[in-house]
């Protein structure tokens, strides 16, 4: 459900002035004062109704409390937002950008940071950032192995989570080889989203992590290795898997929400998501049957923190910072984690919250599709961003329709 990688070569390089980074007041109260009356254009993925409703709620709260209007610019692909920033920089627009805040993932972050497209560092200036206890939780400071260095602010967590219909499946597969065997025994009952959809690309990375001879190479840039040799086991695996997928692997759902809909319609018996709470939330919302159950693979699954960033030329940086800070508030984080709202896990460290703030976070709700927190402890680190780009390009060359 997260944004996709932009792989556009830049043939220009304009330095971002130090003045742009220090233009805002140092005092947080002064930043809030400057933000009042601003309109923040937040470019964020718009492919999920629950996410969109949550962002609309955020907009209402920020307008009421801070006098900042938030416009959700709904994206199918975050590469469109990054392309806009690139075009503005190429045209010499260094201060009047159309995008004030953007929800990006590791690939886009790497590209934007490498080419000086980000404002900052700003994350440490947000009062609520300390509630993530970054010194104790280093994942708040890294994005796909890359240090964020304050150019992104965290606002949610994700981990690859499988789910199945227990009325159809007695024992789900617990690793990638078992998944292949299961698919052969249950043809047409599993698939994955069309690459380069983020969830589809994440499936490729999960499979590669299990199949590659030496997983440590994936923490290094792909250019340091023989990509074809490293990834050969993945393509052999997919060649064997595709004939047994939904529609024989000739067609793929376009996104995670479509994958979930296929589960809800009974066309699939096994699926996966990057939000551990999504199956429970979908059961509560009658999108999935009550027989839905969740699990992670025995060897662990990929997980990461997702972030928001401010483009270097954002017109309303103060308003963007106020919005990013609100996203880290206990109120906003607790509501986001509620499966009746979205179910996106919090990035806050409960030990940093007072009793009143901790009370905002609901405990176990008895939903059998929800995983207990300890089940998510087997977290696998994301590969270096360059591997996702390499995998997507190779997948499209091998399997793209038409």
Angle, vertex CA 198, rays to CA 146 and CA 253, nearest 5: 170
For range 67-74, the mean pLDDT: 98
As a three-state string, the secondary structure of 269-304 is CEEEECCCCHHHHHHHCCCCCCCEEEECCCCCEEEE
165's CB contacts (< 8 A; 6+ apart) are: 263, 266, 269, 270, 288, 289, 291, 292
First-to-last C-alpha distance (Å) of the chain: 25
For range 376-385, the mean pLDDT: 85
List the structure tokens of 77. 């692909």
Question: Does the pLDDT of residue 16 top 90, yes or no?
Answer: no
For range 127-152, the mean pLDDT: 93
Q: How far apart are CA 159 and CA 165, in angstroms?
A: 20
DSSP assignment letter at 217? G
Q: How far apart are CA 192 and CA 240, in angstroms?
A: 14
Higher per-residue pLDDT: 342 or 70 = 70
Q: How confident is the model over 383-398, as pLDDT tens digits?
A: 998 999 999 999 999 9
Mean pLDDT lowest for which of 52-56, 308-312, 330-334, 342-346?
342-346
287's CB contacts (< 8 A; 6+ apart) are: 260, 261, 264
Identical fold, 18-156+306-367 and 159-303+381-399: yes
Question: Does the pLDDT of residue 109 top 60, yes or no?
Answer: yes
Q: Which CATH superfamily is domain 159-303+381-399 in?
A: Periplasmic binding protein-like II (3.40.190.10)
Task: Using DSSP bridges, classify how beta strands 101-104 and 69-75 pair: parallel, antiparallel or unpaired.
Answer: unpaired
DSSP three-state, residue 200: helix
The distance of Cα 260 from the centroid of its chain, to the nearest Å, equals 17
Burial class (CB in 10 A: 0-12, 13-18, 19+), 15: exposed
Q: How confident is the model over 357-366, as pLDDT tens digits?
A: 999 986 656 7
Question: Does the pLDDT of residue 76 top 90, yes or no?
Answer: no
Question: Does the pLDDT of residue 21 top 60, yes or no?
Answer: no
| CB distance 151 to 143 below 8 Å | no
Domain ranges of the chain: 18-156+306-367, 159-303+381-399
Q: How confident is the model over 162-176, as pLDDT tens digits?
A: 999 999 999 999 999
- State pTM to two decimals: 0.82
Q: How confident is the model over 311-338, as pLDDT tens digits?
A: 999 999 999 999 999 999 999 999 999 9
Which of 33-37, 80-84, 373-377 has the largest mean confidence? Answer: 33-37
Q: 307 forms bridges with which residues in the sheet?
A: 104, 154
Q: How far apart are CA 317 and CA 321, in angstroms?
A: 6
Task: Using DSSP bridges, classify how beta strands 161-165 and 142-143 pair: parallel, antiparallel or unpaired.
Answer: unpaired
Q: How far apart are CA 213 and CA 294, in angstroms?
A: 28
Q: How does residue 4 score in pLDDT terms, banded at 50, 70 and 90? A: very low
* pLDDT for position 68: 98
| CB distance 42 to 55 below 8 Å | yes
E-strand stretches of 76-152: 101-104, 142-143, 146-147
Q: How far apart are CA 351 and CA 366, in angstroms?
A: 24
Residues found in the chain = 402
Q: How far apart are CA 99 and CA 82, in angstroms?
A: 9
Q: How far apart are CA 323 and CA 81, in angstroms?
A: 18
Provide CATH code, domain 18-156+306-367: 3.40.190.10
Backbone angles phi, psi at 304, to 5 degrees: -160, 175
Q: Where would I find the H helices in 91-243?
A: 106-114, 176-185, 198-211, 227-241
Question: Does the pLDDT of residue 343 top 60, yes or no?
Answer: yes
Burial class (CB in 10 A: 0-12, 13-18, 19+), 232: middle
Q: How far apart are CA 348 and CA 21, in angstroms?
A: 26
For range 215-231, the mean pLDDT: 95
E-strand stretches of 241-389: 270-273, 292-295, 301-309, 379-380
């Amino acid at each position: 459900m997260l944004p996709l990688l932009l792989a556009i070569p830049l043939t220009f390089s304009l330095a971002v002035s130090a003045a742009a980074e220090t233009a805002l007041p140092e005092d947080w109260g002064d930043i809030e004062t400057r933000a009042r009356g601003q309109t923040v254009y937040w470019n964020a993925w718009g492919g999920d109704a629950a996410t969109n409703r949550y962002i609309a709620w955020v907009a209402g709260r920020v307008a009421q409390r801070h006098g900042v209007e938030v416009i959700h610019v709904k994206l199918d692909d975050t590469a469109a937002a990054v392309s806009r920033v690139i075009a503005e920089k190429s045209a010499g627009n260094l201060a009047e950008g159309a995008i004030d805040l953007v929800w990006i993932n590791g690939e886009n972050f790497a590209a934007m940071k490498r080419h000086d497209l980000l404002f900052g560092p700003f994350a440490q200036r947000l009062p609520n950032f300390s509630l993530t206890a970054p010194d104790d939780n280093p994942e708040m400071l890294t994005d796909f192995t890359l240090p964020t260095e304050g150019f992104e602010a965290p606002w949610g967590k994700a981990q690859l989570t499988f789910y199945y219909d227990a009325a159809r499946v007695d024992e789900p597969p617990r690793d990638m080889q078992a998944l292949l065997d299961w698919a052969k025994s249950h043809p047409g009952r599993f698939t994955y989203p069309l690459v380069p959809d983020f969830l589809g690309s994440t499936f490729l990375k999960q499979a590669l992590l299990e199949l590659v001879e030496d997983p440590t190479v994936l923490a290094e840039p792909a250019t340091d290795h023989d990509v074809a040799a490293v990834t050969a086991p993945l393509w052999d695996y997919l060649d064997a898997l595709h004939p047994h997928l939904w529609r024989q692997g000739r067609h793929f759902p376009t996104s995670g929400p479509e994958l979930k809909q296929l589960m809800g319609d009974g066309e699939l018996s096994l699926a996966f998501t990057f939000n551990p709470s999504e199956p429970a939330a979908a059961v509560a919302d009658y999108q999935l049957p009550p027989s839905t159950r969740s699990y992670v693979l025995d060897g662990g699954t990929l997980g990461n923190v997702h972030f928001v960033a401010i483009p270097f030329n954002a017109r309303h940086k103060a308003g963007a910072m106020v919005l990013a800070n609100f996203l880290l508030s206990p109120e906003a984080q607790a509501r986001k984690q509620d499966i009746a709202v979205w179910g996106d896990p919090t990035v806050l460290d409960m030990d940093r919250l007072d009793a009143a703030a901790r009370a905002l976070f609901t405990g176990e709700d008895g939903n059998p599709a929800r995983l207990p927190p300890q089940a998510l402890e087997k977290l696998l680190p994301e590969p270096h961003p360059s591997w996702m780009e390499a995998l997507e390009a190779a997948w499209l060359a091998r399997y793209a329709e038409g």
